[in-house]
Amino acid sequence: MSTVTVFSYQKYDSKYLIPALEQHLTKKNVTILPVPLSVETAPLAAGSDCVCLFVNDQANEAVLDILASQGVKLILLRNAGFNNVDLDIAAKHGMSVRRVPAYSPYAVAEMAVALMLAVVRKIPKAYNRVREHNFSISGLEGFDIRGKVIGIIGTGNIGKITAEILKGFGPSRLLGNDAYPSEELKAMGMEYVSLEELCKESDIISLHVPLFPSTYHIINESTISMMKPTVVLINTSRGGLVDAKALELALRKNKIGGLGMDVYENEQSYFFHDCSDDVFDDETLTGLLSHHNVIITAHQAFLTKEALEQISTTTITNIKDFVSGTESKNEVKPIPKLKNSDLFKGSGAK
């Protein structure tokens, strides 16, 4: 392994990832591209043994066919999710796909709680008022998190840490939904329930599941209809978990109390780019941004010093393990196609 092309380069990569790659492979063997990987840009990886991708880079069948024809052998994901890679096609071409599964679950969990507090206490609205020398607090009423029912959908590393943080707020009930319940969270007092019960009972719902075909739009018109009209929904996982159109409609009809999201299902056209001078043609995103009880950030939950350092370190380890033939727990292989009911069984039975 001697050459790598980095797609979707961001300025912060120059502080951590790029120096690590250049030190390991030498500067001349690292190609940096600010454009995302797509069918149109895949030929730019010609001459590279490896490509390094980010969350919105597309490694579908057509893209992987091009990369394979150019001799790419390794796909490095500098994030935990792998929904943007067709694992079956990668395996067919003999490509190894390796990710960074745990860069900093604390970063994302803490961001989820930060968004929750910002929505509940209307902090952005209050901040903007004071900036304009308007010190009125009328209309800024929030509610105590203490004594409320909090639901966590997905209790893996990030969901578990989120639950541990929120336990400190003193909720009346802490509900979880996951096919594989955490015994540690059960001991802490989490009740594992069906998705339906969690939606019906929760005052706050936070999403922490990966995006698979089976989890696509798990928050939809049907599940939203089960929720309290005052519910606060938080999503720092993947945008495709939520039907954004159904969510925006529910907000217009006052069927959602508040929304905090760091992801959006069509974010690839906007997030990580300055679109301030562009004509904004996404009606759903425009609609979401128009609501006073909605806070949207641009996929920055992972963005901490600690996380970026870990991403760089793990990426280099993934290269070294590939070259040496060392078995890696970070390698992602094709997985069986699961139904939604298999992932979220409600009772917690495996």
Residues labelled as active-site residues: 238, 267, 299
Residue 33 CB neighbours (<10 A)? 16
Q: Is the Cβ–Cβ distance between 60 and 83 less than 8 Å? A: no
Distance separating alpha carbons of residues 322 and 99, to the nearest angstrom: 12
In the chain, how long is the greatest CA-to-CA distance?
64
Whether the Cβ atoms of residue 244 and residue 286 lie closer than 8 Å to each other: no
State how far the Cα of 81 lies from the Cα of 116, in Å rounded to an integer.
Answer: 23
* Tally of CB atoms within 10 A around 155: 26
User: H or E segment at 85?
Assistant: none
What residues contact residue 276 under an 8 Å CB cut-off, 6+ apart? none
Q: Return the CA Rg of the chain.
A: 21
Quote the CA–CA distance of 228 and 245 in Å, as a whole number.
18
Do the beta carbons of residue 192 and residue 347 sit within 8 Å?
A: yes
